[in-house]
Amino acid sequence: MIGANGAVKTKTMRAISGIRPASGGRITFDGEDITRLRADLRVVRGISQAPEGRGVFPGMTVMENLDMGAYARKDRKNLAADLDRVFTLFPRLAERKSQVGGTMSGGEQQMLAIGRALMAKPRVLLLDEPSMGLAPQFIQQIFRIITEINEQGTTILLVEQNAQQALSRAHRAYVLETGRITKSGTGRTMLADPSIKEAYLGVA
């Protein structure tokens, strides 16, 4: 999902996750109307979010942050396997298990935010601007890992300012303008669209 500033992308993500009440319409997931469902119960249903600005718990260690991601899970016996998955995706987190989240770099905090969201074992992972403010080497790494997570079977709804990176990976893409979808299609089709190139890729 791409769009200019003020397109209500983050508010849309917050409404889907349940952090913000929907101002209208309905939100359905797997055939169920979840519009009024509490945020924690949406996590139980399989919707997890790594929010804009990373939002790690700065006073907690990496391990404590990851444990918080699994707070709503009942299948505790599988936590070790999912923790191993997170550490395989993000080896740097494994190296910094005892480090306090607030002392990590921006790229490392983004890894931690995504890892924490994965510990909820989501069916749908919401990622809001994961590349924002990151150094180029971290951007490439984050997008590579996002692709890997998707290939492992997790659906990802991605809001991203880096349209080139997002559209080149997306199966479906949407342009949001002031809360309304104005254009949609496959990622490849949108990437080749002249109006998209001019507005979001800087190509006339």
Tracing tokens 């109006």 back to the chain, one arrives at: 195
The predicted pLDDT at position 41 comes to 96
Q: Report whether pLDDT(202) > 80.
A: no
- Number of H helices and number of E strands within the chain? 10, 7
Let me know: does 191 contact 168? Beta carbons within 8 Å. yes
Domains, the chain, in order of start with CATH, read 9-200 (3.40.50.300)
Give the span between the Cα atoms of 72 and 119, in whole angstroms.
Answer: 10
**E strand or H helix at 123:** none
Grade residue 173 by pLDDT with cuts at 50, 70 and 90.
very high
The predicted pLDDT at position 203 comes to 60
Give the span between the Cα atoms of 95 and 115, in whole angstroms.
Answer: 14
The predicted pLDDT at position 56 comes to 94
Let me know: does 68 contact 57? Beta carbons within 8 Å. yes
The predicted pLDDT at position 135 comes to 87
Give the span between the Cα atoms of 44 and 125, in whole angstroms.
Answer: 13
